[in-house]
């Protein structure tokens, strides 16, 4: 059964490395980190699977969107993380392509008293090219950084909600990049 395979071979070491990469990605928006060690059913990338094993547990509601909402993936998540699968409104994490996750307004952006009660979206990408690159500035970025975003306007609207808003991980193959809501985004 595919749902029983694809976990970390050395969970303590691999999850620690993956957690550090996830933190680095959020602390340094627009930088690309390498992560590996997990293999979920297609179309989940290795980076996204590694994030799921690292960040999700039975107390972490997860929303699967589009082609990522398949029985094989649900079974893999149930076996490896125990994360409850929920709708967008209840999700702490969500996984899917940008198109499948839209509209972003479905996800929790936190409240004035609890801005940390927002969702983090794991956005699966086909590539991290230079096409559509946006200029990023703000905390964790020395001067500026360039990163291709699927929809600069939507990400800018999200950043305007700060301290509320969504945080993002973009994944492709074994690579991931983070984009916290505190990042200022400009079309390049």
The 184-187 sheet, strands edge to edge: 145-148, 133-137, 184-187
For residue 98 the two structure tokens come to 């940008």
pLDDT in tens, 5-22: 667 677 788 889 999 999
Backbone angles phi, psi at 26, to 5 degrees: -75, -35
User: What residue spans define the domains of the chain?
Assistant: 2-187
DSSP state of 84: P
Exposed/middle/buried for 154, CB within 10 Å: 0-12, 13-18, 19+? middle
Long-range CB pairs of 70-78, under 8 A, 24+ apart, other chains included = 70/41, 72/2, 72/3, 72/41, 73/40, 73/41, 73/44, 75/1, 75/2, 75/3, 76/2, 76/3, 76/6, 76/40, 76/41, 76/44, 77/40, 77/52, 78/3
CA atoms of 23 and 27, how far apart (whole Å): 6
The span from the first CA to the last CA of the chain, in angstroms, equals: 46
Read off the pLDDT of each residue in 38-64 and give the average, rounded to a whole number. 96
CA atoms of 61 and 48, how far apart (whole Å): 16
Residues of the chain with pLDDT > 90: what percent?
87
pLDDT in tens, 114-141: 999 999 999 999 988 766 689 999 999 9
CA atoms of 145 and 71, how far apart (whole Å): 38
Cα distances (angstroms) measured from residue 185 to each of 90, 140, 154, 158: 27, 13, 10, 10
pTM of the predicted protein model: 0.94
Torsion of CA 117, 123, 129, 132, to 10 degrees: -70
pLDDT(4) > 80: no
2-187 is classed CATH 3.40.50.11310: yes
């Amino acid at each position: 059964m595919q749902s029983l395979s694809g976990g970390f071979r050395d969970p303590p070491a691999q999850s620690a490395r993956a957690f550090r990469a996830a933190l680095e990605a959020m602390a340094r928006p627009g930088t690309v980190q390498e992560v590996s060690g997990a293999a979920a059913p297609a179309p989940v990338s290795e980076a996204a699977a590694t994030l799921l094993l690292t960040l999700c547990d039975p107390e972490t509601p997860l929303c699967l969107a589009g082609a990522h909402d398949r029985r094989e993936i649900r079974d893999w998540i149930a076996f490896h993380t125990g994360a409850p699968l929920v709708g967008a409104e209840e999700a702490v994490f969500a996984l899917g392509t940008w198109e499948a996750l839209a509209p972003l307004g479905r996800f929790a952006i936190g409240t004035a008293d609890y801005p940390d009660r927002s969702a983090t979206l794991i956005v699966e990408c086909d590539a991290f090219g230079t096409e559509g690159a946006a200029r990023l500035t703000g905390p964790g970025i020395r001067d500026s950084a360039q990163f291709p975003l699927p929809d600069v306007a939507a990400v800018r609207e999200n950043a305007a909600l700060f301290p509320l808003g969504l945080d993002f991980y973009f994944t492709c193959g074994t690579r991931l990049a983070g984009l916290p809501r505190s990042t200022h985004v400009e079309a390049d």
